[in-house]
Amino acid sequence: MIQLLASTRSKEYPIYLSVDSIDRIGSLWASQGDTGKVAAITDTNVGGLYLPQIERSFEEAGFTFTATEVDAGEGTKTLAQAAKLYSRLFELKIRRGDAVCALGGGVIGDLAGFVASTYMRGVRLIQVPTTLLAQVDSSIGGKTGVNIPEAKNYVGSFYQPDMVLTDPVFLKTLPPEQMAEGLAEVIKYALLSGEDFFDALETSYQSLLDLDMAFLETVVRRCIEYKLAVVAEDERDYGRRAVLNLGHSVGHGIEAAGNYRLYSHGQAVALGLLAAVRLSEKIFSLPPEYGESLASLHKLLGLPTVLKGVEPRAVMESMAADKKADGISANMVLLRKIGDPVINCDVDAGLLASEVERLASGASAGSWTI
């Protein structure tokens, strides 16, 4: 069993990462010294697949276990849903020493994490991420929250869990398009953390597609370790945590320009990563081979390399409206080298616009245009 230690100013807690660790969740939680009740919150897809296994493990370890299922999907991440869950926890007589177990993807992690952080001013929290995105990103770092009608993730808290259990086996039932969502973030971590990780993805991409459990475990571990190191330095997102936005400024612009329907987050981030790498060639003389390799990796993993169906101008307008850009220049994360990100790069709007146009023309995708 791999045990990583998350160390932040507010809390230290273990992250257990292993194939088939799901069956040991009860004993691992007991080994934390916990004896209270466990109230799982999950969605209707994940609940049907994994609740019986989790329930058995907690009950065998002596816990009183209950489960609440909510609708799957982003639409469930609301204050109204949180309010229903508060009442449910009250009905279940959950108290401070008891735990909420968030079993699901990023939606459940954010929603149940937020509920755990606010119910009775905070109860114990176990994160069990079941999507690749949740395993490498949303379950790490303590950001929780819900959407408001006006904006995503605008109400929330920083609340570190007491334990995270990450089992690559969950990924076997994940729909391929959800896997691709997480792979875009994995590629982001590879670009941020170094050439050997990036090379490993290029060489072993087939192992990712084949869901090779040992390789996935290694990949997820590298991503978690990278995020943990960043969060340890900057828990509340005032500085270094901004590196995690690599590919996300253009990505958010594309998502918004497509009205959040045409491009998923991962697809938009994949294009944003390509734009960031191409801009890094111009600004930091990053060798163009990386852009070529990135485009080929995207294609092999089922991620887009060409901006289609959205006007480049609309992407620029969305970026200007976004809090991270001011219309004159964009504040972006770029790469001096693979593994050497630079935050707060002031990118001239003209240069950015020409890069977004290149994305739409397919020229950024090199010989791998699709």
Ligand X SMILES: NC(=O)c1ccc[n+]([C@@H]2O[C@H](COP(=O)([O-])OP(=O)(O)OC[C@H]3O[C@@H](n4cnc5c(N)ncnc54)[C@H](O)[C@@H]3O)[C@@H](O)[C@H]2O)c1
User: Using CB under 6 A as the criterion, which residues of the chain lie in contact with ligand X when the complex forms?
Assistant: 43, 45-46, 49, 72-74, 77, 104-108, 110, 130-131, 133-134, 137-138, 141, 143, 152-153, 170, 173-174, 178, 181
Question: Least separation, in Å, of the C-beta of 108 and ligand X?
Answer: 6
Q: How far is the CB of 285 from ligand X (least distance, A)?
A: 31
Closest distance of CB 174 from ligand X, Å: 5
CA–CA distance, 94 with 35 (Å, rounded to integer): 13
CB of 200 to ligand X, least distance (A): 23
- Write down the least CB distance from residue 192 to ligand X, Å: 15
Round to whole Å and give the CA distance between 57 and 38: 11
Q: Cβ closer to ligand X: 48 or 97? A: 48
On whether the CB atoms of residues 349 and 204 are closer than 8 A, the answer is no
Q: Which is nearer to ligand X, 20 or 195 (CB)?
A: 20
In angstroms, give the least distance from the CB of 134 to ligand X. Answer: 4
Q: Whose Cβ is closer to ligand X: residue 174's or residue 356's?
A: 174
Residue identified by tokens 């257990």 is 16
- Which residue in 208, 206, 237, 199 sits closest to 339, CA to CA? 199
- The token pair that represents 92 in the structure block: 């279940």
Please, what is the minimum distance in Å from the beta carbon of residue 288 to ligand X? 30
How far is the CA of 106 from the CAs of 76, 110, 179, 238, in angstroms?
Answer: 11, 6, 13, 22
Q: Cα–Cα distance between 88 and 16 in angstroms, integer?
A: 28
Which residue's entry shows tokens 């932040």? 8
Q: Which residue number, 90 or 154, has a Cβ lying nearer to ligand X?
A: 154
Q: At what angle do helices 79-91 and 106-118 cross, to 10 degrees?
A: 60
* Bridge partners, residue 69, by sequence: 42
- With CB atoms as reference, the residue minimizing the distance to ligand X is 106
Q: Give the nearest distance from C-beta 7 to ligand X in angstroms.
A: 17
Quick one: which H or E segment has residue 209?
Answer: helix 205-209
Q: Hey, what are 113's tokens?
A: 């994490």
Residues paired with 16 in a beta bridge: 3, 165
Smallest distance, ligand X to C-beta of residue 144, A? 6
Which CB, 24 or 37, lies closer to ligand X? Answer: 24
Closest CB to ligand X among 133 and 273?
133
User: If 0-12 CB within 10 Å is exposed, 13-18 middle and 19+ buried, where does residue 94 land?
Assistant: buried
Q: Determine the Cα–Cα distance for residues 289 and 341; give it in Å rounded to an integer.
A: 17
Which residues neighbour 34 within 8 Å (Cβ) at sequence distance 6 or greater?
A: 63, 97, 99, 124, 162
**Residue among 62 and 73 whose Cβ is closer to ligand X:** 73
Q: Looking at beta carbons only, is 27 or 173 nearer to ligand X?
A: 173
Which of 71, 348 has the CB closer to ligand X? 71
**Contact (CB, 8 A) for 124 and 162:** yes
Taking alpha carbons only, the member of 88, 33, 42 closest to residue 62 is 33
